[in-house]
A and B are shown apart, each in its own frame.
Chain A
Amino acid sequence: MVGSTPSDVRVVTVMTLVGLVAGCRQREPVTSLPGPSSPTVTSQGPGPAPLRRLTKHQYENTLRDLFDLDVTEHLPDEPVVGGFEGAAEAQLPSELFVSRAQRSAQRYAEALVSDPGRLKRVLQCDEWTKASSQARCVDGFLETTARRLYRRPLTDDEKARLKAELTRWTAEIDFVGAVQLALEELLLAPAFLYRPEPGPTLDGDQLATRLSFLLWDSGPDEALLERARSGALTTRADVRAEATRLLADPRARRTMWSFHRQWLGLERLMLDEHAVRTPAVDPQWTAATQQAAQEETRRFVEGVMAEEGTLGALLLSRRAWLDADTARLYGATVGDTMLDATQRAGVLTRVAFLASTAHRGATSPPIRGNAINLKLLCRMPTPPPAGIDTTPPTRPAGEKRTTRELFEERTRPTACAGCHHALNGLGFGFEHYDAAGQWRATEDGLPIDAKGETPALEGSFDGALELSSRLASSREVQVCATTMWARYALGRAPVPVEDAWLNASAERFVQSGGDVKALLLDLVSSPSFLALPGEPP
Chain B
Amino acid sequence: MNRRQMLRALGLGALVAPRFSFGQGQTPPKRVVFFVQPHGHVPSSWKMAIPNGPTTTFASRSLSTVTQAELSLVLQPLFPFRNKVLAVEGLAHTAVLEDIAYLHRNGGDANNHNVAVADLLTGNRAAQHPGFPCTGGAISIDQVLAQRTVGPGRFGSRVYGGDYVPNQVVAPFSFLGASQPTPVVKSPQAAFTDLLGAQPAPDVRSAKLERARLSVLDSVAEEYRAVAQRLGREGRQKLESHSALVRDLEVSLASQLSQPQCLPSLDASGHVTRQFMRLIRMAFACDLTRVMTFAAPVPPCSDFGYPAAHDVHATYAHSSVDGATSCGQAYTPVSERAMSDLSVWYGQHLAFLLAELDAVPEGDGTLLDHTVVVWLSELGTPTHRHHDAFTVLIGSGSGFFETGRYVRYPVLHDNPVSGDVNEWPRIGPAHNKLFVSLLQAMGQSDTAFGTTEATSRTGERISLTGPLTELHR
Contacts and interface: CB of A to CB of B under 8 A. Distances in A.
Nearest to B114: A383
B228 to A, nearest CB: 8
Q: Which 9 A-B pairs give the minimum distances between C-beta atoms? A: A389-B326, A51-B235, A20-B130, A76-B183, A410-B328, A27-B178, A278-B309, A33-B232, A35-B232
Contacts of A384: 327
A188 B232 contact: no
B184 A360 contact: no
Contacts of B238: 51, 53, 91-93, 194
Nearest to A393: B329
B424 interface: yes
B15 interface: no
Interface stretch (B207-215, B259-267, B431-439, B459-467): B207-215
A307 interface: no
Interface string A329-365: 0000000000000000000000000000101110010
Interface string A189-210: 1110010101000000000000
B178 A380 contact: no
Nearest to A278: B309
Given A51-B238, A102-B217, A180-B209, A391 B318 contact: yes
Contacts of B127: 25, 27, 81
Contact of B162 (A81, A83, A272): A272
Contacts of B231: 35, 37, 51, 196, 198
Contact of A51 (B170, B216, B239, B316): B239
A386 B165 contact: no
Contacts of A364: 314
Nearest to B174: A94
Contacts of B100: 386
B220 A410 contact: no
Given A80-B170, A102-B249, A370-B168, A387 B423 contact: yes
A103 B196 CA distance: 11
Interface string A72-97: 01101101111100011111111111
A322 B111 CA distance: 38
A172 B212 contact: yes
A77 B183 contact: yes
Given A95-B245, A416-B327, A172 B176 contact: no
Interface of A: 17, 20-21, 24-25, 27-28, 30, 33-38, 50-51, 53, 73-74, 76-77, 79-83, 87-100, 102-103, 106-107, 161, 165, 169, 172-174, 177, 180-181, 184-185, 188-191, 194, 196, 198, 265, 268, 271-273, 276, 278, 280, 357, 359-361, 364, 367, 370-371, 374, 378, 380, 383-394, 409-413, 415-416, 493
Given A33-B232, A92-B238, A360 B311 contact: yes
B297 A190 contact: no
B129 A190 contact: no
B242 A190 contact: yes
B209 A387 contact: no
A367 B129 contact: no
B205 interface: yes
Interface stretch (B22-30, B79-87, B132-140, B393-401): B132-140
Contact of B245 (A20, A30, A98, A196): A98
Given A103-B197, A194-B227, A380-B131, 6 more contacts: A81-B179, A98-B242, A177-B208, A196-B239, A383-B110, A389-B327
B344 to A, nearest CB: 21
B246 interface: yes
B165 A273 contact: yes
B233 A34 contact: yes
Contact of A410 (B232, B241, B329, B385): B329
11 contacts: A27-B137, A33-B234, A35-B232, A81-B181, A88-B234, A94-B182, A198-B230, A273-B165, A383-B112, A386-B419, A409-B328
Interface in B324-341: 324-330, 335
A77 B205 CA distance: 33
A99 B217 CA distance: 11
B234 A413 contact: no
Contacts of A169: 212
Contacts of B371: none
Contacts of B311: 273, 359-361
Contacts of A21: 130
B194 interface: yes
A493 B168 CA distance: 22
Interface in B151-209: 155-158, 162-163, 165, 168, 170, 172, 176-186, 190, 193-194, 197-198, 205, 208-209
Contacts of B326: 387-389, 391
B207 to A, nearest CB: 10
A85 B215 CA distance: 32
